[in-house]
Amino acid sequence: MRTRKDALRRRLLFTADLLSILIGVGAMTLVEGTSDPLWVLPTLPLWVFVAKMEGLYDADHPRIWHLTTDEAPAIFHWITLSVAGSLFFIRALPDETIRLESAVTLYVVAMGAAFVLRSIARAIWRRRVPP
């Protein structure tokens, strides 16, 4: 039973992280003024890999209330490395440039969305899983 509960929590957090990435890219696309955010598709595995390496999908600590703020350093590191990797990827593409405002928008929006959506995912998990 515990592994099923933990698997549901990990799936919810994974979904929250993917939505955070997509929301950040959507905001960056609006600031950039381009309508082709397809460059993000090859970078999605990078974002997920870095999140996994940061331990964001590992089992929660044995506490009654594990909060998203408890993971703040890992989330900060995850977003920072992932945005940097994505920006290096974008710069390597031919005919692709990115403005500083767009990069900052991606960073700030993805960071905020990650905290909000991971908190929502944990709230859903707490409601669906009996204590």
Q: What is the pLDDT of residue 8?
A: 86
Return the domain boundaries, the chain: 2-128
CA distance 51 to 103: 19
Q: What is the pLDDT of residue 18?
A: 92
Residue at token pair 């990078």: 46
pTM beyond 0.75? yes
Q: Which residues of 28-61 are buried (b: 16+ CB within 10 A; e: fewer)?
A: bbebbeeeeeebbeebbebbbebbeebebeeebe
Give how far Cα 7 sits from Cα of 25, 60, 113, 129, Å.
Answer: 27, 11, 22, 11
Q: What is the pLDDT along the chain (131 residues), one digit of tens a residue?
A: 556 777 888 899 999 999 999 999 888 888 877 656 677 778 888 888 999 998 888 766 555 566 777 788 989 999 999 988 888 887 777 766 677 788 888 899 999 999 999 999 988 988 888 77
Q: What is the pLDDT of residue 92?
A: 77
